């Protein structure tokens, strides 16, 4: 079967076998036991093990598997169904553990479509969970700035809280294709931030036009979640940027909580590639 992925060395198509991906020039890439491929050349790596480490990957899996962010997943699924044709090619960049990837793929199937879908992430640790979660989606360790897919091959591209590689997104989308860009809104996790910081500040919200794309809409997603135990509180904390820049006293205050209710607030920016 021909893969949605292309060879990161020569750019040719890859044929998927039982345990390998191989291009016509005989560049070969083993499939991990879980089913994902490693398509990140050495010259694109900035560390020995880039991306989320084992602890962060486990935290994301545990937190998202409890569906605290289901309102966002539901909104993405509805948008994906309404913005694709009958047989779309879909790419999730920075797909993480595959929570949104799997949800969107299953929603497209439920709508009677025949999607082909791929997800990439820079972390091999987190892709193990993604590949286990959804066997019908192709996954690969790769960089958003060097996407291993063909020019103009994707109808829909999803980017949730991941690097914004606009030139690559424009390259791989078909003319008229759609790009979902998910960002935290101003007061996302506000009550948690009040625990962590003496003077928390809201996230910046803005609408930025990008060359080669037309702004279609911005979809708000709002809600409140209650985390009933310290394990879930810590899992959420560990998957946020605050994990790396919170003062010790703020971390201690959060660790002392048995439960936490906080708002969740996202914005889905919908762009269409100009033809």
Question: In a structure prediction context, what are the per-residue pLDDT tens digits for the chain, which is 275 residues long?
Answer: 899 999 999 999 999 988 999 999 999 999 999 999 999 976 554 544 445 677 788 888 999 999 999 999 999 999 999 999 999 999 999 999 999 999 999 999 999 999 999 999 998 999 999 999 999 999 999 999 999 999 999 999 999 999 899 999 999 999 999 999 999 999 999 999 999 999 999 999 988 899 999 999 999 999 999 999 999 999 999 989 899 889 999 999 999 999 999 999 999 999 999 97
The pLDDT value given to residue 222: 97
Taken in order 129, 37, 141, 181, the sign of the CA dihedral is: negative
For residue 15, is it within any domain?
no
Helices (H), the chain: 54-64, 70-82, 99-110, 124-133, 166-172, 190-196, 230-238, 248-255
For residue 11, is it within any domain?
no
For residue 5, is it within any domain?
no
Beta bridge partner(s), residue 226 = 261
In angstroms, the CA 22 to CA 2 distance is 10
For residue 16, is it within any domain?
no
Give whole-number Cα distances, 1 to 21, 52, 128, in Å. Answer: 10, 30, 22
The pLDDT value given to residue 272: 97
In angstroms, the CA 117 to CA 76 distance is 15
Give whole-number Cα distances, 2 to 13, 38, 127, 214, 273, in Å. Answer: 7, 17, 21, 32, 26
Q: Which domain holds residue 203?
A: 33-273
The pLDDT value given to residue 261: 98
The pLDDT value given to residue 245: 87
The pLDDT value given to residue 1: 87
In angstroms, the CA 232 to CA 56 distance is 13
- DSSP 8-state class, residue 32: P
For residue 129, is it within any domain?
yes
Greatest pairwise CA separation for the chain in angstroms: 59
| Helix, strand, coil abundance in the chain, percent, nearest 5 | 30, 30, 40
- Say how many C-beta atoms besides its own lie within 10 A of residue 3's C-beta: 23
Find the CATH number of the domain harbouring 210: 3.40.50.150
In angstroms, the CA 166 to CA 9 distance is 21
In angstroms, the CA 178 to CA 273 distance is 6
The pLDDT value given to residue 47: 46
pTM of the model: 0.94
For residue 3, is it within any domain?
no
For residue 23, is it within any domain?
no
For residue 44, is it within any domain?
yes
Q: Which residues contact 116 (CB under 8 A, 6 or more apart)?
A: 4, 87, 88, 89, 90
The pLDDT value given to residue 44: 54
What is the signed CA dihedral for 105, 226, 162, 119, rounded to 10 degrees?
A: -20
- Number of domains within the chain: 1
The pLDDT value given to residue 50: 47
């Amino acid at each position: 079967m021909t893969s949605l992925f292309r060879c990161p060395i020569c750019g040719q198509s890859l044929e998927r076998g039982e345990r390998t991906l191989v291009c016509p020039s005989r560049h070969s890439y083993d499939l991990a036991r879980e089913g994902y491929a490693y398509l990140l050349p050495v010259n694109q790596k900035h560390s020995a093990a880039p991306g989320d480490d084992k602890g962060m990957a486990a935290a994301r899996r545990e937190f998202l598997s409890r569906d605290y962010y289901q309102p966002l997943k539901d909104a993405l699924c509805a948008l994906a169904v309404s913005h694709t044709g009958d047989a779309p090619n879909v790419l999730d960049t920075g797909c993480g553990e595959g929570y949104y990837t799997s949800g969107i793929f299953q929603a497209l199937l439920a709508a009677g479509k025949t999607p082909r879908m791929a997800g990439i992430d820079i972390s091999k640790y987190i892709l193990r969970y993604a590949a286990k979660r959804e066997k019908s989606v192709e996954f690969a360790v790769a960089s958003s700035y060097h996407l291993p897919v063909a020019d103009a091959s994707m109808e829909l591209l999803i980017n949730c809280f991941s690097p914004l590689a606009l030139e690559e997104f424009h390259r791989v989308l078909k003319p008229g294709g759609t790009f979902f860009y998910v960002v935290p809104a101003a007061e996302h996790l506000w009550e948690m931030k009040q625990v962590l910081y003496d003077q928390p500040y809201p996230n910046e919200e803005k609408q930025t036009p990008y060359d080669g794309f037309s702004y279609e809409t911005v979809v708000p997603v709002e809600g409140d979640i209650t985390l009933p135990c310290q394990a879930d509180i810590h899992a959420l904390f560990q998957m946020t940027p605050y994990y790396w820049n919170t003062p010790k006293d703020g971390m201690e205050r959060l660790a002392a909580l048995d439960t936490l209710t906080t708002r969740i607030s996202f914005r889905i920016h919908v762009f269409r590639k100009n033809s």
